[in-house]
Structure 1
């Protein structure tokens, strides 16, 4: 059965070298991982750019060369970067960084649980960068691999997004991090502004949420930035392996949903 699930791959997230060899940190490893994930079926690539010493960064001297390397290697799907406090703690500093980018990503993840999210999203849109407005639901939304300090009760982040007056379905997507794969949480999103929806979870929630996304027709995210194991509990060897497993799981979920109707 053909799988229509749109999968974004989170190449490295807030991970570090201690999380294992499957986590790409250096530009060559990011390029190799992106190529493998796209070949496996990923439709988008999300990366947290890093300095040579491994620190997350939004500096144009880090972001630009990495994007050029990935695109130059032949990755033609949309490229996203995370514009969170893990890379730049100061809201004004984040604005300065994105306004100084000389090479632009296709999308950027803006965490609406973080201060200055609205201004940051507007600055990105002004530069022609689409925005994933990230909000957590069903929990604090901060677990292993999450950006440091990105902790706020979920209703606060969602309320901030709803109060944000910018509505452009062509350039804004609501990226919802679910702590649990609760269909009721997703059903409650139906009354929200009509923007595309992407669902993802981290660690234990990653695979149940991906299956939920397949059932409800939302986009999904997977990758070592979110989870280090396959659905059967085995350690993932690469992002490509996770993407392949995600599409297989989505196909099984879709078949089960169809047969139950």
Structure 2
């Protein structure tokens, strides 16, 4: 499965084609799905362009995307820094009425277990974001871990060999715990394409898009999200 991560916390300073508004997200969603993406990961924005978990902003983004690409699963980020930040971000999430299909929750965050319980209680799937071996060890000890949608191995290391080492350590912890959840492996910036290739070689899911990086495998700057997705589909065929 190929997931398109359309915007993250990026601004137009990073790339002129970063989608911010609900309409822009819906447009990029349609283009990315046409290019081969099968799921979407987005960061809704408020009127000021900043990331938002407020119910109205979330609803606007989800409804626009669903109108554009009916039936395509939509995931949101819940990361610690999104306003109002910290544990306070649980309050707007509790008020969501238009729900995403899943959210990503980072195990490095102190309230990860609370967040998992909160969103599962609303019927939302969970991508368990794991950045390190210690994150993986924390995750496999959680009672709710087997109920998660998938494990999201997120490699932030910029050196490819270092990133592969971290990924291998995480995978080892999951295997020792006899976890059978699907795994999505992806990188960031310099590690985007090395991790994508590793995911394809292992038969894992992966993700690609302007949240993670703006370059094509050739090193050329991509035109937009759909351009990156097309490159990933072509590369995946080799596997």
> Scaled by the length of structure 1, what TM-score is found?
0.83
Q: 1:162 aligns with which of 130, 134, 140?
A: 140
Could you list the runs of 5+ residues in structure 2 that have no partner in the other structure?
158-162
Match of 1:168, SS state, is: helix
Kindly state the Cα deviation for residue 91 of structure 1 after the two structures are TM-superposed. 3.8
Map 1:236-251 to 2 at 5 A. Answer: 236-251=222-237
Give the match for residue 195 of structure 1.
181
For 1:80 and 1:30, the matched residues in 2 are separated by 13
Kindly state the Cα deviation for residue 160 of structure 1 after the two structures are TM-superposed. 2.0
Could you list the runs of 5+ residues in structure 1 that have no partner in the other structure?
1-5, 137-153, 255-261
* 2:211 counterpart of 1:216: no
Per-residue CA distance 1:86-116 (angstroms, 9 max, x = gap): 3135443222111100100001010111121
More helix as a share of residues: 2
Q: 1:184 aligns with which of 168, 179, 196?
A: 168
For 2:187 and 2:70, the matched residues in 1 are separated by 25
Give the match for residue 43 of structure 2.
48
Kindly state the Cα deviation for residue 63 of structure 1 after the two structures are TM-superposed. 0.2
- Contact 1:56–1:86 (CA under 8 A) maintained in structure 2: no
Map 1:74-89 to 2 at 5 A. Answer: 74-88=69-83
For 1:86 and 1:194, the matched residues in 2 are separated by 30
For 1:89 and 1:181, the matched residues in 2 are separated by 34
Match of 2:152, SS state, is: strand
Give the match for residue 160 of structure 2.
none
Give the match for residue 104 of structure 1.
99
For 2:47 and 2:185, the matched residues in 1 are separated by 31
Kindly state the Cα deviation for residue 159 of structure 1 after the two structures are TM-superposed. 2.4
Per-residue CA distance 1:232-251 (angstroms, 9 max, x = gap): 01111111111111111111
> Scaled by the length of structure 2, what TM-score is found?
0.91
For 1:21 and 1:108, the matched residues in 2 are separated by 26
TM-align CA RMSD: 1.6
Map 1:88-167 to 2 at 5 A. Answer: 88=83, 90-136=85-131, 154-167=132-145
Per-residue CA distance 1:221-240 (angstroms, 9 max, x = gap): 11000010000011111111
Per-residue CA distance 1:103-156 (angstroms, 9 max, x = gap): 0000101011112111011110110100001011xxxxxxxxxxxxxxxxx233
Distance 1:9 1:217, change over 3 A: same
For 1:70 and 1:123, the matched residues in 2 are separated by 24
